[in-house]
Amino acid sequence: MKTYPAGDLTKEKIYEASKEIFFRDGYKKASMKEVSEKAGIKQSVFYYHYKNKSDLAKKLYSEFGTAHATAITEWIIQNKYSNDIIITNCICSALLIINSVTVPNIGRFWSEMYTDNLTADIPFHRHFHELIFKKRFSDFTEIDFEIFLIEAAAMNCALILSFLDGRLSIKPEELARFKIQNTLKELSFTKQERDEMVKEIIEIASQIPVVCGKNFEIRIGPKHVF
Amino acid sequence: MKTYPAGDLTKEKIYEASKEIFFRDGYKKASMKEVSEKAGIKQSVFYYHYKNKSDLAKKLYSEFGTAHATAITEWIIQNKYSNDIIITNCICSALLIINSVTVPNIGRFWSEMYTDNLTADIPFHRHFHELIFKKRFSDFTEIDFEIFLIEAAAMNCALILSFLDGRLSIKPEELARFKIQNTLKELSFTKQERDEMVKEIIEIASQIPVVCGKNFEIRIGPKHVF
């Protein structure tokens, strides 16, 4: 059993309480007053532990993304499906999109963070793009990289919100396919290369029994667990 | 001198008044109460002529974009610089970006419209993408096209806002160059093709004396007119 110093325990309680509120209400509507009440603390205590709502939201999404990617990457390595870092990251990305729109309200929460310019700066997002772009482009400048982060976050959020708002009548799997196509286009693969890679990525992704719970829990297991 | 029936004149007055407010305050903060006061009408009259704020904003941005593109395209044709529709559209796009961020507050107005999901649906945006994508991809499905519209609008808005908020320390010309690179990447040109096209586009664009006034007026003329 995990034990915490008293201060850390309060911080953890706030974090847990925020999951429920953020996923129910999305980012914009979520009330930190309600989070504090749910955590059983005064609102002033909230601001002792977290700078503001966006600080907490960024931590939450980053940890979710990292846990998600780690679980999937380990599964791929154990099952020896691919040792290509771009393929592996695209598989993570595809499953992240599918889980974001099928588990309420992860996609809305993440996409709404975009309006406060938070999405491009999330450490998980940065790390993911570092992994795949640094491998492919040795002449990438700092500013190229910053622009890629901004564009990739904007496109993800726009696609997810359009899907959730019903302006895109497609299936979650198709949404993921478009997301992968985008990433591979950003990485300057040719159409033929992209088509082959997308086929491989979708084939592997469809075999990974990643399970994402209502409250951000990630595990690899039979889909019917939840 | 243009004459209008009484109703059209009121509609036109509201439209003119809204330019000042939208460009001063951006989309989010702009108050339709203030627009009505400036136009010398009751707010109920506003809602007789325009469904809502987004209805007016979409009309305004669409007309600005169309006027901008028309002026530039005519200049290119008259001066016989290019008869390639993709090159011509990228030149329009580059100059639109530069004017959007250098003339206060066009870029902010347009980018803030994104948060209400308005940007992808603007007729001018749709028309622009139809022109260049339909020429290039004959196998483009309806859903491919909708996704391209959403992604392109999201990327434009994200880049412009990041620039205006000071998170991207680059010059407006560099911002335009990235925007063109994106469009050409979306159009699946190779890196070598893109590099050559960008060079040509920037060369022509830098010679076009397009002038964009504080209140959306567009003309081709010496830069010092304003």
**Distance from the Cα of residue A103 to its chain's centroid:** 12
Q: What is the CATH number of the domain that holds B97?
A: 1.10.357
End of a domain among A50, A67, A84? Answer: A50
Cis-peptide, bond into residue A83, ω within 30° of zero: no
Q: Same domain for A40 and A127?
A: no
Which one of B120, B147, B159 has the shortest CB-CB distance to A150? B159
Q: Same domain for A39 and A102?
A: no
Per-residue pLDDT band at A115 (split at 50, 70, 90): confident
Q: Same domain for A199 and A128?
A: yes
Q: Please write the tens of the pLDDT for every residue from B27-82.
A: 999 999 999 999 999 999 999 999 999 999 999 999 988 998 898 988 888 888 88
Residue of B nearest to A186 (CA): B185
Sole residue written with tokens 């959020």: A157
Is the CB of residue A212 less than 8 Å from the CB of residue A97?
A: no
Per-residue pLDDT band at A224 (split at 50, 70, 90): very low
- Structure-token pair, residue A191: 């159409």
Q: Same domain for A31 and A70?
A: no
Distance from CA of B155 to the nearest CA of A (A): 5
Q: Provide the mean pLDDT of chain A.
A: 87
Q: Please write the tens of the pLDDT for every residue from A205-221.
A: 888 888 777 677 787 77
What's the whole-number mean pLDDT along residues B199-211? 88
Q: Same domain for B177 and B164?
A: yes
- Structure-token pair, residue A192: 């033929």
- What is the C-alpha separation between A115 and B116, in angstroms, rounded? 10
Q: Same domain for B30 and B81?
A: no
- What is the C-alpha separation between B115 and A27, in angstroms, rounded? 13
pLDDT reading at A222 higher than 70: no
φ/ψ (deg, to 5) at A210:
-75, 135
- What is the C-alpha separation between B143 and A117, in angstroms, rounded? 27
The predicted structure's pLDDT at residue B80: 81
How many domains, in total, are found in chain B? Answer: 2
Sole residue written with tokens 């007055």: B13
DSSP B121: G
User: What secondary structure, in 3-state letters, does chain A show?
Assistant: CCCCCHHHHHHHHHHHHHHHHHHHHHHHHCCHHHHHHHHCCCHHHHHHHCCCHHHHHHHHHHHHHHHHHHHHHHHHHHCCCCCCHHHHHHHHHHHHHHHHHHCCCHHHHHHHHHHHCCHHHCHHHHHHHHHHHHHHCCCCCHHHHHHHHHHHHHHHHHHHHHHHCCCCCCCHHHHHHHHHHHHHHHCCCCHHHHHHHHHHHHHHHCCCCEEECCCCCEEECCHHHC
Residue of B nearest to A155 (CA): B151
**Distance from the Cα of residue B64 to its chain's centroid:** 6
- What is the C-alpha separation between A186 and A180, in angstroms, rounded? 10
pLDDT reading at A65 higher than 50: yes
The predicted structure's pLDDT at residue A223: 52
Tell me if B117 and A154 make a contact (CB, 8 A cut-off): no
The predicted structure's pLDDT at residue A3: 58
Q: Provide the mean pLDDT of chain B.
A: 87
What's the whole-number mean pLDDT along residues A142-155? 90
Q: Same domain for B114 and B164?
A: yes
- Which residues of chain B have a CB within 8 Å of the CB of A174? 143
- What is the C-alpha separation between A100 and A78, in angstroms, rounded? 25
Which of B108, B139, B148, B155 to substitute to test the interface with A, most A CBs within 10 Å? B155
The predicted structure's pLDDT at residue B79: 85
Cα Dmax for chain B: 58
Distance from CA of A221 to the nearest CA of B (A): 32
The predicted structure's pLDDT at residue B4: 59
The share of chain A scoring above pLDDT 90, in percent, equals 46
The predicted structure's pLDDT at residue B153: 92
Tell me if A147 and B168 make a contact (CB, 8 A cut-off): yes
pLDDT reading at B111 higher than 80: yes
What's the whole-number mean pLDDT along residues B197-216? 85
Q: Same domain for B43 and B141?
A: no
- Structure-token pair, residue A217: 């829990």
Which one of A151, A161, A169 has the shortest CB-CB distance to B158? A151
Q: Return the closest-CA partner of residue B55 out of B64, B66, B46.
A: B46
- Between helix A172-186 and helix B172-186 the angle, nearest 10°, is 120
- Structure-token pair, residue A156: 């993800």
What's the whole-number mean pLDDT along residues A72-77? 89
Which one of B146, B161, B185 has the shortest CB-CB distance to A185? B185
The predicted structure's pLDDT at residue B2: 56
* Run of H or E including B182: helix B172-186
- Which residues of chain A have a CB within 8 Å of the CB of B171? none
- Which residues of chain B have a CB within 8 Å of the CB of A191? 188
The predicted structure's pLDDT at residue A116: 84
Is the CB of residue B177 less than 8 Å from the CB of residue B206?
A: no
End of a domain among B50, B66, B89? Answer: B50
Tell me if B188 and A188 make a contact (CB, 8 A cut-off): no
In this complex, is the C-beta atom of B158 within 8 Å of any C-beta atom belonging to chain A? yes
In this complex, is the C-beta atom of A55 within 8 Å of any C-beta atom belonging to chain B? no
In this complex, is the C-beta atom of B41 within 8 Å of any C-beta atom belonging to chain A? no
Q: Please write the tens of the pLDDT for every residue from A156-167.
A: 999 999 999 898
The share of chain B scoring above pLDDT 90, in percent, equals 46
- Which residues of chain A have a CB within 8 Å of the CB of B155? 151, 154-155
Sole residue written with tokens 């950003």: A186
Cis-peptide, bond into residue B52, ω within 30° of zero: no
Instruction: Specify the amino acid at residue B75.
Output: W
pLDDT reading at A38 higher than 90: yes
The predicted structure's pLDDT at residue B226: 37
pLDDT reading at B5 higher than 90: no
Distance from CA of B120 to the nearest CA of A (A): 10
Three-class SS state of B3: coil
Between B39 and B224, residue with greater pLDDT: B39
Q: What is the CATH number of the domain that holds A9?
A: 1.10.10
In this complex, is the C-beta atom of B77 within 8 Å of any C-beta atom belonging to chain A? no
- Between helix A85-102 and helix A123-136 the angle, nearest 10°, is 150
Three-class SS state of B218: strand
In this complex, is the C-beta atom of B171 within 8 Å of any C-beta atom belonging to chain A? no
Q: Same domain for B81 and B40?
A: no
Tell me if A120 and B153 make a contact (CB, 8 A cut-off): no
Q: Same domain for B57 and B40?
A: no
Q: Please write the tens of the pLDDT for every residue from A118-144.
A: 899 899 899 888 888 877 777 778 888
Q: Same domain for A150 and A38?
A: no
Tell me if A120 and B185 make a contact (CB, 8 A cut-off): no
**Distance from the Cα of residue A102 to its chain's centroid:** 13
Distance from CA of A205 to the nearest CA of B (A): 22
Sole residue written with tokens 């006027």: B67
Q: Please write the tens of the pLDDT for every residue from B166-191.
A: 989 999 999 999 999 888 988 888 88
Q: Same domain for A46 and A80?
A: no
In this complex, is the C-beta atom of B185 within 8 Å of any C-beta atom belonging to chain A? yes
Tell me if B159 and A147 make a contact (CB, 8 A cut-off): yes
Domain that holds residue A24: 1-50
